[in-house]
Amino acid sequence: MTNANIALQSIKIKLASMKIPIKNRYLTASLDTDFIPDPEKQGKFASYFLLKGDEINGREWGVTSGSIPENIATFIGRPLIATGDKFIKDSPYGMNFVHPSISHFQSRAPELVAGLNPMNIDDILTFQDRFRIGTIDDVFFNQDKQLWNASVKLAEGVEQSDLPPFVSPALYQLDMAEHEGSLTKWTGLHLAALDQRPAYGNIALLNGTCTGTSGQCKTQFAGTTDVLKSDVMRIAAQLSTENRDVDKVKIFKKRNY
């Protein structure tokens, strides 16, 4: 086996989608810090499910609750992606809503990914950005449902009424030695809008829409400002205290979808 093949085998993407073959999953370790949202600019926003801790999804991976407050802000600035031609003119995926993948086209339509390397971080981010229909503006914790949601600022021309009902997060596993069911070292990659039920099932939904400023819509989505990203460290401390004496393996629940 060549070094290139060995390297390819070590690369995985964590997708909460049931439609992507495991062999096409990939990882990225890039942390973009260039995105600075304008909180006063009026726009169209949507609230989508983002992530739930201590639960193994249908793709058989999961993150610990304690790791989420530490890492969840890495999703900010990442894209909401839709591959279907309803949003992306002449999309190579046709009507299908999936996670974009360079390797998917390397044999099927290599001209679409010419010069792109599925192992190169910049190439991966460049390719997925072709399908951006919005940008994750902020993240917040739903105390009642014990899950994390995202506030997404929609791109110009994207109508709230056209948004797909489901969503699937993709993240990058930083430590390959960690068990896939209890990841603690990871970074966000994107959210993919889907038209079929994803691996997180009926919780991975479009929760609502809003027209206004970034701050107005985040407050509306969250219900209160004290659960936005500015307070994630308080939540991290709370979760750490609550789970200190709990056997983490026993609290994971596998969902069969």
Token digits of residue 36: 């600075």
Give residue 34's pLDDT: 54
Give residue 216's pLDDT: 92
| Average pLDDT of the residues in 100-107 | 91
**Mind listing the pLDDT tens digit for each residue in 152-201?**
999 999 999 999 999 999 988 889 899 999 999 998 989 999 998 788 99
Position with higher pLDDT, 233 vs 65: 65
What CA–CA distances, in Å, run from 54 to 70, 73, 146, 188?
A: 15, 18, 10, 17
**Mind listing the pLDDT tens digit for each residue in 197-240?**
788 998 999 999 999 999 999 889 987 444 444 444 444 444 44
Position with higher pLDDT, 21 vs 71: 71
**Measured between alpha carbons, how far is 119 from 142 in angstroms, rounded to an integer?**
35
**Measured between alpha carbons, how far is 147 from 144 in angstroms, rounded to an integer?**
8
Token digits of residue 228: 């936005």
Res. 113: pLDDT tops 50: yes
Give residue 169's pLDDT: 95
- Hey, how many other C-beta atoms are within 10 angstroms of the C-beta on 168? 29
**Measured between alpha carbons, how far is 140 from 152 in angstroms, rounded to an integer?**
11
Is residue 73 within 8 A of residue 229, CB to CB? The reply is: yes
Percent of the chain clearing pLDDT 70 (strictly above): 72
Percent of the chain clearing pLDDT 90 (strictly above): 55
Give residue 35's pLDDT: 52
Which secondary-structure segment (H or E) carries 4? Answer: helix 3-9
Position with higher pLDDT, 96 vs 236: 96
* Strands 132-142 and 79-81, sheet pairing: antiparallel
* Strands 253-254 and 55-56, sheet pairing: parallel
Q: Where are the domains of the chain?
A: 11-254
Residue 50's nearest CA partner among 224, 232, 238, 211 is 232
Give residue 15's pLDDT: 73
Position with higher pLDDT, 98 vs 7: 98
Within 8 A by CB and 6+ apart from 16, the residues are 57, 58, 59, 168, 169, 170, 198, 199, 200, 204
Position with higher pLDDT, 181 vs 36: 181
| Average pLDDT of the residues in 230-255 | 39
Token digits of residue 99: 């996670």
Position with higher pLDDT, 34 vs 136: 136
Q: Could you give the dihedral angle defined by the CA atoms of residues 34, 38, 44 and 47, in that order, rounded to the nearest 10 degrees?
A: 70
Give residue 158's pLDDT: 96
Model pTM? 0.74
Residue 82's nearest CA partner among 39, 131, 16 is 131
